[in-house]
Structure 1
Amino acid sequence: MPVNDDAYANGAHIPDGASFPARWARDATAFRDSLGARAQTCLRYGPSPRQSFDLFQPEGTSKGTLIFVHGGFWRLFSPGDWSHLAAGAVARGWSVALPGYELCPDWRIAGITQSIAQAVQVIAGQTTGPLALAGHSAGGHLVARMCAEGMLPVDAMARVSHVMPISPLSDLEPLLLTTMNDDFQLDAAMARAESPVHQPAPACAVTVWVGGAERPAFLDQAQWLAEAWGCDHHIAQDKHHFDVVDPLTEPDSAMLGRLLGM
């Protein structure tokens, strides 16, 4: 077993961890059904099958758009597994877009990064008002990468009010020593180029958020990014890797208040 496999294994260290994906899918379906016509799915932003996004609208005029990028080590899941995480922001009057992306090993991580940048541009072009970016785990990596100079057009980046990498993978070099790298196909140069810790700190507000009950490797990854960027760093006590995102479903949560500036 490569040296870092267990360090980045989450489900095996979370009570009843294997049950979470089915719960997410169930809650996501129920949320979409509850919105009716205010839920639009599979809106294309690129040519490949998974280059699409789901868009959920509030009642009345939208105050802005939250873009949430899902995780799964760039290898798993789709936006439809996470629809329920839009519930809190929609209740607060925000639109929420969840972009999908092609997965490893079919695509490399650098290509996925460029795909999400394309998605953000398309979503920005179809919406008005501020943009807030949040992502979980690998999605935390992807929204952090959006802050790199030149990744987004100047006009889109100027609309970004807050970026929240949640339990992010910010330094990819430790992943070279995992079995997962058979899918990632990273080498040292690629891992460094795709690591947000090596980017300059962005001008927009950033909060790195992580669960206090997460694996030590994820606590380290969050701390490394917060230190590299000199940004806010919040440790949510008693939250693990699978439930750290749950406050996005709650309109009055501290996480959502920080992210949306409310």
Structure 2
Amino acid sequence: MSKTQQELDLEYENGAFIPNAQSYVDAWEAASAALRAAKTGEYDVAYGDNPRAKYDLIRPDGPAKGLFIFVHGGYWLQRHKDDWTCFGEGALTAGWAIAHPGYPLAPEVRISEITKHVAQAITALAEQTDGPIVLAGHSAGGHLVARMAMPGVLSAYVAARLSHVLSISPVSDLRPMLPLTMNDTLRLDAAEAQAESPVLGHSLDVPVTVAVGSQERPVFLDQARWLAEAWGVGHMILPGRHHFDVIDVLRDAKSPILRAALS
């Protein structure tokens, strides 16, 4: 029996299934604003012509061990880099420079264009820093960092500096997005969905970890597993975590998953 439109859309709905979901968003925004207020940084640096093509870069007090870049989610449709600064907190405490790139959203641009913007931001950040680069992303950001780990997306020089890619709760196969109502805004077609799906390609020779919360929606458990299996990389299911608190591990410099990514 075919699924109704509502059933299809609910498979990719997160907030409706998380108690007090808005409280998590409010806490991210408050913690991120507090971190920016407390730290001198290079904020809203333009890397392109689009008004959202800007990044924030915060350096540690001493010499940086490398650069940790967090790419935010929001289904390529919403959110802003300023909402997520706190998820660089663990890496900053561990002595890494941290960066948060913004990017234009659908429907102004298509997902393939967002991929190009993120690559452009990472390239600009690489020019401003030395040492290894760790990429982390959540949800749509998990998709975007996985795309960065694929051949031909980043320049050879920047790709060679990647030391770890941490894809958290990613959308790794975009083909299931085609019949969703949100695709009225994303404007994905079959060709773009295939080209932009990491699960249908292969990764560079760089360590990749795919992580997902055990309490996430079934499709996110599937999407994470599909990518880990397709690429033959580490697959971590974090006990008791849902889509909105699975990324809290990035705020703790001692969390095993972050320590592994930064090692």
Tell me the TM-score normalised to structure 1 length.
0.97
Deviations 1:199-249 (A, max 9, x none): 113210000011011000000000000000000000001000000001111
Contact 1:247 1:256 in 2 (8 A): yes
Does 2:38 correspond to 1:30? Answer: no
Determine the structure 2 residue equivalent to 1:151.
153
Task: Name the CA distance, whole Å, in 2 between partners of 1:28 and 1:255.
Answer: 21
Q: How many residues align structurally? A: 259
Amino acid at match of 1:198: L
Task: Name the CA distance, whole Å, in 1 between partners of 2:24 and 2:31.
Answer: 11
Task: Name the CA distance, whole Å, in 2 between partners of 1:155 and 1:169.
Answer: 27
Q: 1:148: Cα distance to partner?
A: 1.8
What stretches of structure 1 move > 4 A for 4+ residues in a row? none
Q: Secondary structure at the match of 1:5?
A: helix
Determine the structure 2 residue equivalent to 1:218.
220
Task: Name the CA distance, whole Å, in 1 between partners of 2:166 and 2:53.
Answer: 22
Identity of aligned residues (%): 49
Equivalences for residues 86-105 of structure 1 within 5 A: 86-105=88-107
Determine the structure 2 residue equivalent to 1:84.
86
Amino acid at match of 1:97: A
Gaps of 5+ in 1: none
Amino acid at match of 1:184: L
Deviations 1:96-123 (A, max 9, x none): 1110000011110000000001111111
Determine the structure 2 residue equivalent to 1:185.
187
Determine the structure 1 residue equivalent to 2:62.
60
Determine the structure 2 residue equivalent to 1:16.
20
Task: Name the CA distance, whole Å, in 2 between partners of 1:42 and 1:116.
Answer: 15
Deviations 1:128-165 (A, max 9, x none): 00000110000000000012211111111111000011
Amino acid at match of 2:128: Q
Amino acid at match of 1:232: G
Amino acid at match of 1:30: A
Tell me the TM-score normalised to structure 2 length.
0.97
Task: Name the CA distance, whole Å, in 1 between partners of 2:85 and 2:17.
Answer: 25
Task: Name the CA distance, whole Å, in 2 between partners of 1:207 and 1:249.
Answer: 17
How much is the aligned-residue C-alpha RMSD, in angstroms? 0.9
Task: Name the CA distance, whole Å, in 1 between partners of 2:238 and 2:86.
Answer: 20
